[in-house]
Structure 1
């Protein structure tokens, strides 16, 4: 693996090719700054007015991104570091499970009681779902 300059980080910082971590910075060195730039690019460049496909828009945005200086990319890099996206499902039970999992691992300590309760609730939920699937299959066979 060859050390290369990371295009999304400041000058002088190095990344190892195909690695997800930078040597100097502990922030992941991924494509989030570029994705934030693409969102901004689509809104501000009125891409839809030109009836470009998504792939054409990404190609143009990629060319613009590669021509940008590190200073021009910096706002997108900063925004990606401060990006606090939390996954939420449409299913309330899934959200409950995810919330409990976050609580279990939030402190960095293992809370066995919470983990045990969570596992029991997930097992009950799994049984409920499997029972519903079995009931639907039985209805399909009867028809």
Structure 2
């Protein structure tokens, strides 16, 4: 199952189901279900095209599920706004079950320049260790 939800008012998240396990928490004594095996993440820059009804949404969901990858789709084309998605992932990586150090910035064919500007901004302003943007083909 793959969820498609809005996150922090910044865009949408294509989120495949995480593996979970039961763990005992000693204080107070309870059993809890926690997410395990964090997944890599993709910040997919499309100029805000990914919304309910997006023509390639089913293909995105299939890719996310098959590759066990969380796909963040910011609605903005501004590097500073895309950086807010990066910062959200860094702050919430454990809850999102995403490997904070395995993030990639990708774009659709029309948004590659914007995606690369976002990478440059993240490296310069956020001290991110991210490779150059790649075109996302799924």
Q: TM-score range by the shorter chain?
A: under 0.3
* TM-score, normalising length: structure 2: 0.23
Higher helix share: 1
* TM-score, normalising length: structure 1: 0.22
